[in-house]
A = this chain, B = another copy of it.
Amino acid sequence: MDVLTVLNLGDFAQAFSKMGMFPVFDLAYYIVSILYLKYEPGSVEVSRRSPVASWLCAMLYCFGSYFLADIMLGSSPIDYFQYNSHILLASAVWYLVFYCPLNLFYKCVVFLPVKLCLVAMKEVVRTRKIVAGVHHAHHAYHHGFFIMVIVGYVKGSGVALMSNFEQLLRGVWRPETNEILNMSFPTKASLYGAILFTMQEVQWLPVSKSHLILVFTLFMATSKVVMTARHSHGS
């Protein structure tokens, strides 16, 4: 009976770590990310004044982690734009969040039960991104422990790490602070996550990757759901 439970948990962790993210989880990621963009002061005015700037910011919010990781590994920063379906899906979300008549879409997704569900799903994607980033860096630099941590970190933190420049695109400049000087919860957690997954990748942790994914996802999702329910959030 006890063995059975362990087996089932292992199977579940395995299945969970292999589950496809597109389109359902990715959609949740895009919705929550673009919501956070809409919360930024002045972003609605930008969407009226310059749709191109607003769309670019939305893409940074959705795909910033890919841009940063591709820069870090010396690839084309806009490499991810080749995935037309992801870009179109995120663009549709951007359109609905900013231009939907009566603000209907926005009102639906900020309805608390819906939002908490989306926020939890976003953390599933974030964890996967960290893992993929560490794995990608490990492939490129077999003993580059620092590179693995950095790439995992930027994959988890995404647009937050380039918030100064994302704000500049919207005409806002706040040099006195940045995400590294004042880390928010998700950025800090991404750093610890990147360190953990790097240790797992180079086999310094006696734990399987699927279990670590499951535990880290649960921790992130729970934390963010609780924080969102208490009206405090970070991207």
Contacts and interface: CB of A to CB of B under 8 A. Distances in A.
Contact of A171 (B140, B143, B170, B178): B178
A168 interface: yes
A83 to B, nearest CB: 9
A176 interface: yes
A99 interface: no
A71 interface: yes
Contacts of A3: none
Copies of this protein in the assembly total 3
Question: How many A residues are at the interface, by size bracket?
Answer: 35 or more
A71 B75 CA distance: 9
Interface in A114-135: none
Nearest to A188: B52
Interface stretch (A15-23, A33-41, A145-153, A222-230): A145-153
Contacts of A175: 168, 171-173
Nearest to A148: B81
Interface in A190-235: 191
Contacts of A169: 178, 180-181
Contacts of A143: 82, 84
A76 interface: yes
Contact of A50 (B71, B75, B150, B182): B182
18 contacts: A50-B181, A50-B183, A52-B180, A52-B191, A53-B178, A53-B181, A73-B76, A74-B77, A78-B146, A78-B147, A81-B147, A82-B141, A84-B144, A164-B168, A171-B175, A171-B176, A171-B178, A173-B176
